Chains A and B, each alone.
Chain A
Amino acid sequence: MESLVGERRISYDARGLAEPNAEAPRVAEIADGRAVFDAKDLTTRLINLELRRLVYEEGVRAVTVRNPGSKHSLGVGILQRCRITFEGSLGYFGCGLIDGPEIHITGRVGWSSCENMMSGVVVVDGNGGSLTGAAMRGGDLVVRGRVGARTGIDQKGGTIIIGDSVGSNTGFMMQRGRMIICGDAGPGLGDSMYDGTIYVGGKVKSLGVDCVPGEWTDADTELIERKFRIYELGTPPSFQKFVCGKVLYNYDNLEPSERRIVL
């Protein structure tokens, strides 16, 4: 029996580092600035090494990865303008810490995808796990399906767009940025958020502490229509807007000089 992640495929050094001597497998076919390779029999480390070789050393600007097989931590740390398509699904921590690429995932993503994403675009055709877009700082993240709990936790910038519903504590401790949720939101929406805006097209089970309805402006309409147009999401539903009420203890404890800056 073959194991995808078992000892037969991955070696560790004395410090516990996986495949310390691994090198890019050089399996991609490159033509006209585009590259394609099959990830089915490659480990996470080999897939990422091949991706980085193509993007950084070969200067390829469009890479297609076939059969990613829900492996974890794929496509992380790409700091280059390029296009990457994963034909299939990603496991946990996919596309984290990226700065610049446009990534299309035809399947789903697991927990903590696009964590700390700095810029670029990620479009997921399927569903997402919990913690999608955690601590995201910039760029657009679009998940066409539903996502799990704590979506956009600690979000610091950028826009997260969810085509369906989200789980509990979405937008927990959100600091900046926007979240557009076309379906329903679970309990505790926007709990302890500092700033930022959450739009919900469906029902909200309950609002978290210090998350309150916000006043709708023309800028909100413009943003929603623009994002729906760019990502071909159809006609926008009627959205509710939620923002931070700024009455939590952390605002009360500010020094007068700090209060002027923050509020």
Chain B
Amino acid sequence: MCGIAGIIYRDGSRNIGRDMIAMLQSMKHRGPDSTGYALYGRSSSGTVVMRYKLADANDARDYDFQARLQKHRAEVEARIEQAGGRLQSVEAETEYAFRAVVQYGGDLKLLTDLVEDVPGAEVLSIGQSLEIIKDLGDAETVGEQYALDGFTGTHAIGHVRMATESDVDISGAHPYWAYPFGDIAVVHNGQLTNYFYWRRRLERNGRRFQSECDSEIIAVYLAEKMSEGLTLSEAMRKSLEDLDGVFTYICVTKDALGVCKDELAAKPLVLFESDEMVALASEEIAIRAIIDHEIDTYDPYEAEVLVWSL
């Protein structure tokens, strides 16, 4: 089933970490397997934030597990330096997930490829302000684990996952970052029926995929279209022609949030819009989790694309 949510504040930064935890926790019944967040915090020029993991929560803890983690962590840090980056800080969020702030102005693909060449390493997100956090468990569990209550920023998306076609692991959890383009992420509710067609096509263009999940296609597809000169809105409209299946997805960039529904409007989405904010979710109960007064909401129609910018 899965549940998706998004929020964008038009009038400055807020505690988007807390908001997103509340929204996603209220939709726990739609997907208890894993929870993911894409949060847009403060950006500073010349530096990128990289979120990466070296193992999974449910990996077997053999005798060498800790030693291997230490070794791989050191290798990742060396690779970052090798790519020309200067590490400003590395924080261990869990024993296997890390947040690095890197002074770097080079090619993000080069940096990512070098890091992911380390065994077990997977870059979850990279960008000037995007940070993707995802792990097994419900929204409160993941939010507490990564101390997200207090994360301030302008916009965010999130996802609660009920695993149906791939494993319960971090790679299968949303949001997906659009490798190798910075600051673009997607959450999706639905199923793409021309997944393999688009995967092969994008792989021929040099893209790599971290998962077997159809939703990852959307992020990479949109990023590629935008790199060819389309706006976010134009890229999302094009996706209505190119992607088959049933879907409602939310895409976020550094300064915008957009939503797209397929032409059958088969997957739910409820929308609330005011002068200060836009909040959207698979169920209205998620919007009510952060707004305690009566509000007017509506469902976008079939084949509708809506984009809000900061």
State the A residues within 8 Å of B (CB).
Answer: 1, 3-6, 69-72, 88-89, 91-92, 106-108, 110-111, 126-127, 129-130, 145-150, 165, 167-169, 186-187
Contacts A4-B26, A5-B28 hold; do A71 and B285 have CB atoms under 8 A apart? yes
CB distance from B124 to the nearest CB of A (A): 24
Main secondary structure of the interface of B (DSSP, over half): loop
Tell me if B301 and A92 are in contact (CB < 8 A).
no
Most A-side CB within 10 Å, residue of B270, B284, B294, B302: B284
| Stretch with Cβ within 8 A of A (4 or more), from B33-41, B109-117, B260-268 | B260-268
14 contacts between A and B (CB under 8 A): A5-B26, A5-B28, A5-B29, A69-B285, A89-B288, A91-B284, A108-B298, A129-B299, A130-B265, A130-B268, A130-B299, A147-B299, A148-B301, A168-B264
Q: Quick check: is B170 within 8 A (CB to CB) of the other chain?
A: no
State the B residues within 8 Å of A (CB).
Answer: 18, 21-22, 25-26, 28-29, 138, 140, 149, 263-266, 268, 270, 283-285, 287-289, 294, 296-299, 301-302
Main secondary structure of the interface of A (DSSP, over half): loop
For the A-B complex, the count of residue pairs with Cβ-Cβ distances under 8 Å equals 93
Tell me if B289 and A168 are in contact (CB < 8 A).
no
Name the B residues within 8 Å of A70 (CB-CB).
283-285, 287-288
B285 — nearest CB in chain A belongs to which residue? A70
4 further A-B contacts with Cβ under 8 Å, apart from A5-B28, A70-B284, A148-B299, are A4-B26, A89-B288, A110-B283, A187-B263
B302 — nearest CB in chain A belongs to which residue? A168
Q: Can you list the 9 inter-chain pairs with the closest CB atoms, starting with the nearest? A: A149-B265, A148-B299, A70-B284, A168-B302, A127-B298, A70-B285, A167-B301, A3-B25, A70-B288
Q: Measured between alpha carbons, how far is A167 from B300 in the docked complex, in Å?
A: 9
CB distance from B265 to the nearest CB of A (A): 4
Tell me if A129 and B302 are in contact (CB < 8 A).
no
Name the A residues within 8 Å of B18 (CB-CB).
1
Q: Measured between alpha carbons, how far is A262 from B266 in the docked complex, in Å?
A: 32
Q: Measured between alpha carbons, how far is A72 from B298 in the docked complex, in Å?
A: 16
Tell me if B21 and A107 are in contact (CB < 8 A).
no
Contacts A1-B21, A6-B138, A149-B302 hold; do A126 and B288 have CB atoms under 8 A apart? no
